[in-house]
Structure 1
């Protein structure tokens, strides 16, 4: 029997091109006309592809937040900003989207690019987040922060000592690096009972602060190029150590220390060899939690938690301190009024005493308004129900975002929003009205777990620095404090730091002039 030859037809390049063209045409048609979000207003190109956001994230250096603001001016308060995501610009809707009741997921696409996928901060699922958050709530509670406020006070006193050594020297101090060192040392001592000695370093270990600013750039790239981070992580450590800059090497050192400390604490707990007199760490609370299953207590999971907790506690609070110090020392009337209020207290007031000072609280709130924890949108997903905005029905499972920095700069809520005006918070009625739109630590089930520690650092740190020092800035300006880039956290135009001449209060005018003439 004769066997017929098998004919294998190889498509030509023209056929391949036609197939690809038909595929993309089908995708475009679906997203523009058939997708559940097709009826929502917004630019057509953004509805077709995420690479619109990629352009503003990667090529334009984190400008999509401000592009979204432009879109709202053209298309209205609710818009489609990608094939899958909506964004709302209406302060009245904030409390409806960021609330405690109901199940709320985070949008996986924004969070899985971080190298801490097992942490509470970057957890996507509502139920998993709730389990992980439970042991953290007591550790970071207001009561526990108040009990351990001595950590903040001791580190603040060390910073003041370091600055006093620079007083009248005629040399500038990188004030941004100095307050960054304060916040990092407080966080590591509070969370892991370890002193990382940033405040003891000549340059306040400023390079590690720079890498946390830079991590936002990595996040933006990895959102749109998912394979980029695995490639970087696959490189041998020796390669990254020798090819990276000083900031990169400082970060690798920090991660190595964090790995060793996490392992050491977990081993001591497992072997019952903990020092009974040693302070309890957050790792103790995680491993002792009855709400967490055993698979949530592995080294990988706990290490991711430590990386996220410490990282989240660093640049966010430090940047708020920079904002406050910059505006206080460039607006003498505000500084004088704050000093007069602080003068009514004892030399080293406790946290609860500072919390009762209305003007100090107003100053801190204004700093937090201008420097909330995130510059990016915080999308929420209702997985089991539709949402509604005015006459719009938002299908269940749709990511819906709002951006705190845009809301905090909305003149409908905060007149002259670009101005640092603590007085806006002195009117009780105004403060009550703005309470629904003031969200520097976010709101709802996913609000910042460490906000009480941040408040303590701001109260004790700002009060001490204002009472003890005068700062004269060298070349500092809005470029050092105003949000200009979405790095997940606030990104500024100039991230090299605020340079300042330091003078201890009470130094004679003649001595001060001699110092400034050098």
Structure 2
């Protein structure tokens, strides 16, 4: 009897039986997802409804192409599409303000944000209430009034950038303006957030490897979304090992990560013993430590996640759109001439700073400069990827569809900003779209370079200040020549979704520069 039982058990465990069981399971799961799942009524590709590996193919194998595959789905299936077994995507500008709003409870999609490997960071906190609590201590720190008080610091970095550009003009050397702008953004962000100058602007190559690492970071995000152990395994590798053995770009980035983590730990320790007589500048680390957050939210690991995500989000997204704006402004004489005239007039009727810079408050009132920056943000919003929202406690309604509570629903700002129904000839850089106040007002509900609602970008006032001050300085002081094969006409064509936008030219913007004599 025992032998019969053993033989039966062995037969059940044979590879044929295991294979058959797996096939039956997969077929049953596919049938459920296609016909019985709460999202089965929504249109979309059958394969996407059955498995996430459909998305993984476009994310990993095709290197960040799922955003554009989703756009194709909408052309075939309509404005609402099921893009995975669990997730919907909407491409209807009229719905944007209903999904990204302050009222109600809105969670992020844990499966997507956890893959960023910055667990605990504000931007990657899925739960609505926890996000609100973690963000509260930093709202005042990134307020417009606080940014204005840091205008002198931004101008100092800007003067250093202009000095480096002037050196290239005097030596008649080609300069990678893209790397220079990334260095400027990085130095401003780290000093604003951590109170420390990491001196990227002082490096001969502007620490260009840091920028390359940022533009390649989407690959890890894509892999970790679909292979959940990959990202944590990479983080498990000691930083000192990578600094010693990795390629130069990775080694430099890991050195920066190590230094900023040590600075975070140092600042937490200083915050714990802070006294009114201490002349150490306050940072976001101090704000977090002094808040009412629980002790587990004040650990070095959690606070460092905020530091690295806030600084990272603060420099490369803004640098990308500035590269685009600079290229188009200096490639179109009529735009450049009009901007210069506006800035000359502003300088004559305002009290310029001792260094000749126009105050930020004056720049903010200039309609054509503002229009040029808005057009840049339309074509290069903060991220390329969809941003999902979950209403955990209520169903959502879209057209004839009732979306079950707890369903991740995403929209993609990049697709909305290049929708020809809203913006004729959508890929053309045209500041005129924003000069008319009435036209600008009509676009308020469908223009969202910093997102909207409870998760709106915390650093948007700092980004605006950097953009205004940098563009005003460059337009008044320099002429940039992108001809001669340095920059092709499709340099800024969007090529892939690496969370941030990845263009054909990446972060490179080589140019010849001369001093403006006008």
TM-score under structure 1 length normalisation: 0.95
CA drift at 1:274:
8.1
Q: 2:177 aligns with which of 171, 175, 191?
A: 175
Q: 1:466 aligns with which of 457, 475, 478?
A: 475
Preserved CA contact (<8 Å) 1:263 1:299: yes
Q: 1:494 aligns with which of 473, 493, 505?
A: 505
CA drift at 1:243:
4.3
CA drift at 1:63:
0.7
1:68 is matched with which residue?
A: 70
Preserved CA contact (<8 Å) 1:57 1:64: yes
1:240 is matched with which residue?
A: 242
TM-score under structure 2 length normalisation: 0.95
Question: How do residues 108-257 of structure 1 correspond to structure 2 at under 5 angstroms?
Answer: 108-257=110-259
Distance 2:383 2:274 in 1: 40
Deviations 1:26-83 (A, max 9, x none): 0000000000000000010110111111111111111111110100000000010000
2:300 is matched with which residue?
A: 299
Distance 2:159 2:426 in 1: 34
Distance 2:228 2:108 in 1: 18
Q: Residue 14 of structure 1: SS of its match in structure 2?
A: helix
1:510 is matched with which residue?
A: none
CA drift at 1:220:
1.0
Preserved CA contact (<8 Å) 1:319 1:481: no
Preserved CA contact (<8 Å) 1:386 1:393: yes
1:337 is matched with which residue?
A: 338
Q: Residue 64 of structure 2: SS of its match in structure 1?
A: coil
Distance 2:218 2:315 in 1: 13
Deviations 1:185-229 (A, max 9, x none): 000111111011011111111110110111111111111111212
Q: Residue 502 of structure 1: SS of its match in structure 2?
A: strand
Q: Residue 374 of structure 2: SS of its match in structure 1?
A: helix
Question: How do residues 51-90 of structure 1 correspond to structure 2 at under 5 angstroms?
Answer: 51-90=53-92
2:5 is matched with which residue?
A: 7
CA drift at 1:6:
7.5
Deviations 1:297-341 (A, max 9, x none): 122211111111111112100001101001011111101100100
Distance 2:16 2:196 in 1: 64
In structure 1, runs of 5+ residues without a counterpart are 508-518
* 1:5–1:66 Cα change, 3 Å: closer
Preserved CA contact (<8 Å) 1:371 1:483: no
Deviations 1:468-491 (A, max 9, x none): 001112521344323221000111
- Runs of 4 or more consecutive aligned structure 1 residues displaced over 6 Å after TM superposition: none
Q: 2:49 aligns with which of 47, 50, 57?
A: 47
Distance 1:38 1:219 in 2: 28
Preserved CA contact (<8 Å) 2:245 2:251: no
Distance 2:188 2:445 in 1: 30
Q: Residue 113 of structure 1: SS of its match in structure 2?
A: helix
1:433 is matched with which residue?
A: 442
Distance 2:294 2:209 in 1: 38
Distance 2:257 2:305 in 1: 11
CA drift at 1:494:
2.6
* 1:85–1:140 Cα change, 3 Å: same
Cα-Cα RMSD:
1.5
Distance 1:382 1:4 in 2: 56
Distance 1:43 1:115 in 2: 30
Q: Residue 501 of structure 1: SS of its match in structure 2?
A: strand
Larger mean CA deviation between 156-165 and 268-277 belongs to: 268-277
2:494 is matched with which residue?
A: 483
Asked whether 1:408 is paired with 2:417, we answer: yes
Q: Residue 495 of structure 1: SS of its match in structure 2?
A: coil
CA drift at 1:232:
2.1
Deviations 1:221-247 (A, max 9, x none): 111111212332333445433442222
1:424 is matched with which residue?
A: 433
Preserved CA contact (<8 Å) 2:115 2:228: yes
Preserved CA contact (<8 Å) 2:138 2:284: yes
* 1:275–1:153 Cα change, 3 Å: farther
Distance 1:472 1:23 in 2: 62
1:442 is matched with which residue?
A: 451
Question: How do residues 274-313 of structure 1 correspond to structure 2 at under 5 angstroms?
Answer: 276-290=278-292, 292-313=293-314
Q: How many pairs were matched up?
A: 504
* 1:476–1:274 Cα change, 3 Å: farther
CA drift at 1:293:
1.9
Deviations 1:103-130 (A, max 9, x none): 0000011110112111101000000000
Preserved CA contact (<8 Å) 1:322 1:481: no
In structure 2, runs of 5+ residues without a counterpart are 348-355
Distance 2:197 2:168 in 1: 23
